[in-house]
Structure 1
Amino acid sequence: MPQKAAQQAGMPEGRGVRYDEIDMALFRAKLSYHATAEERMASRDPNLVSISEHQARLLRLWEMHQHSREEKNGGSMTPAERNQLAQFQWRYKRLEDLATQGTR
């Protein structure tokens, strides 16, 4: 019994924890970019360098649009705005697929 009590005290409950899928997609895209950017930029393959540059631009635009919409609307977004931000996610994923296509 003491183990269960200690475990419960160590882990907070997830009540009320909510996350936005668009925020999480941006977070994952940033992690992916930062994990591979230096290697791709140092590559002699001009396609990988170009993809990395485009991904960097796309991430900046994505973040800028997301923050401006959140500030403008106080955190809530219309379905059209969510769709526009989802397009950034799709574009980034497509570029990542192109970059990793040659390594498979």
Structure 2
Amino acid sequence: MDIGGILKARRVRRDETLEDVAFRAGTDAGNLSRIERNRQDVSVQRLGRLCDALEMSLTELFEELEGKAKTPHLRDPASAFDKDTRQLIELSDKLNTNGRRLLVDLAARLAETKGLY
């Protein structure tokens, strides 16, 4: 796999737009798109900012590039989830035990409702 492909795969897995990641990395969506398609060279400094925006280290990126990564090494395990799931995790962390139970009950009832999944 190539650097651009790895960055894009991580961004897509996280369910983020080009604009989301580019903004956090201090660049623009067009630039990130060209990097993901390997149409533009990227400096180590910019690559570091892109990795930070995607919550991965340069080491992780290069391990994956070399095919040495056995499992994803995440600074924050929640970063492997899509945006909505990460938001739900963040909100649940703020709840007490009773609040979390209510949230789980609500999610179970929603899952039982036809048309919501």
Q: Could you tell me the TM-score, scaled by structure 2's length?
A: 0.29
More helix by share: 1
| Larger RCO of the pair (alpha carbons < 8 Å, separation 6+) | 1
TM-score, structure 1 as length reference: 0.32
